[in-house]
Structure 1
């Protein structure tokens, strides 16, 4: 579980599928009201407080983005208390009550995204993807000092999807950035056919 502060009242939490499995939670469970998910959210908020000093009291807007190969991104935005006092449940018998007032939004993206520190790694993975006839598609972004390659699964043979992920993971790492954030804040370097373009221009 990785937590980072986006602003004074907003944090982003990146959960890998391993994080979910360790807690006995399937990806689909995040859409359901079950105790395990509430426990996970409480754990996330406790960690956010201990690591960042983020106090999750008051109304919270929670956005959950499911990413196909990486895991899940949870963005928590703290609202104003409107003068109400902060009363958290402390007794065991009160733990069944809603401690957090949440407005939850769920989004699922099929876009596969991996980030790379060095452009040489981007070139290497693109050459491997092309050589293995896995894909020549993709959009390349620059975001926060890293290169991010985004692939549309619909343009990848479903039987070879895992092979694509394996290659991407060999050279890069799963990114906790959502596609919506990438579109809004990232810089588009190659809008289409990124794998083919990179192999054409950087072939040796």
Structure 2
């Protein structure tokens, strides 16, 4: 299990299939809000609090989606109790009904809207781009933490996202950074149409 804080009120948690197996949870079972899944969720929240100080003493939304080899990605977002209100860590009311449902699980499965893949070598990135160009995605390229970071966005079907991930993972790996971190700290190579520009600049 790995926790990343991607905003003040949002964390992203990676749960490997090994994590699920250790807890006796089948891949399909995670979408059924049983006791083992609820226990896993609260273990995740405890880990998020211990590692990055993320407290959920207030209303939250939970989104989850699966990746073919990586496991399950869960995004937990704290929701202000009043429209337009912000929170500081720990500054929450605990009124009755502040949770829509305290038996949180992963029933709110969603389709991802983006992913970031890291490539150590330019040749690996180019090899992935040759196949990725057939998909209707928007891409940007950064250099950060010694790797080429390809941001992939699009309105794809779940099976298309799985194909895009499988293609990218053949040559690279899921990045530990978010698009927002790259926009702030990464070195921009191509702000848009990265796949097309790479293949245009490095024809084979």
TM-score band by shorter chain is 0.5 to 0.7
Find the counterpart in structure 1 of residue 140 from structure 2.
141
* 3-state DSSP of counterpart to 2:140: strand
Distance 1:32 1:141, change over 3 A: same
Aligned residues: 173
Give the TM-score taking structure 2 as reference length: 0.60
- Determine if contact 2:58/2:94 at 8 Å carries over to the other structure: no
Residues 38 and 104 of structure 2 are in contact (CA less than 8 Å); yes or no, is this contact kept in structure 1? no
- Which has more radius of gyration? 1
Spell out, residue by residue over 1:97-150, the C-alpha distance to the aligned partner (whole angstroms, 9 max, x if none): x7x3649632135x89551255xx3543433775xxx66525432369452264
Structure 2 gap ranges (5+): 82-91, 184-189
Alignment of 1:1-204 (within 5 A): 1-79=1-79, 80=81, 81-82=92-93, 84=95, 100=102, 102=104, 105-109=108-112, 113=115, 115-116=117-118, 121-127=121-127, 130=130, 136-138=133-135, 139=137, 140-142=139-141, 145=144, 147-148=149-150, 150=152, 165=166, 168-169=168-169, 171-175=171-175, 189-190=192-193, 194=195, 198-203=198-203
Root mean square deviation, CA, Å:
4.3
* Counterpart-to-counterpart distance in 2, 1:68 and 1:201: 31
Q: Distance in 1 between matches of 2:77 and 2:71?
A: 20
In structure 2, do the counterparts of structure 1 residues 43 and 35 end up closer, same or farther at CA, with 3 Å as the change threshold?
same
In the alignment, the residues of structure 2 paired with residue 112 and residue 75 of structure 1 have an alpha-carbon distance, to the nearest angstrom, of 13
Residue 171 to residue 54, structure 1, CA distance change in 2 (3 Å): same
Q: Matched residues in 2 for 1:101 and 1:35: separation?
A: 9
- The DSSP-based 3-state class of the residue aligned with 1:76 is strand
Q: 1:127 to 1:83 in 2, by over 3 A?
A: closer
- The TM-score, its normalising length taken from structure 1, stands at 0.60
CA contact (8 A) 1:14 1:176 kept: no
More helix by share: 1
Contact 2:127 2:171 in 1 (8 A): no
Q: C-alpha distance in 1, partners of 2:95/2:9?
A: 17
